[in-house]
Amino acid sequence: MLLLSKNIKLKSEKSKWVLHSSFFALHFLYLIQTVFSPTRFTSTSLIVVVG
């Protein structure tokens, strides 16, 4: 029983990490997009495509 709860906790930690890394990746892409094309239209369209 203890092992099962430990495994569940490990899975939730892993999914949390994946969520955080994808969140940072999205922001990184957004930053790159805004730096290379300062027009607001392209940056918002990128968010729509990713989101």
Alpha helices in 1-51 (DSSP H): 2-36, 40-50
Q: Give the total number of structural domains in the chain.
A: 1
Asked whether residue 16 is domain-assigned, the answer is no
Asked whether residue 38 is domain-assigned, the answer is yes
Structural domain of 43: 22-51
**Cα(11)–Cα(19) distance, integer angstroms:** 12
pLDDT tens digits for range 27-39: 888 888 777 766 6
49: pLDDT strictly greater than 60: no
43: pLDDT strictly greater than 80: no
AA identity, residue 45: S
Give the side-chain half-sphere CA count within 13 A for 20.
Answer: 6
Average pLDDT over residues 16-23: 84
24: pLDDT strictly greater than 70: yes
Which residue's entry shows tokens 């430990």? 6
Q: Which two tokens stand for residue 37?
A: 């094309």
Q: How many CB atoms lie within 10 A of CB 33?
A: 18
Asked whether residue 47 is domain-assigned, the answer is yes
pTM: 0.43
Residue 51 — very low, low, confident or very high, per pLDDT cuts 50/70/90? Answer: very low
Asked whether residue 45 is domain-assigned, the answer is yes
Asked whether residue 29 is domain-assigned, the answer is yes
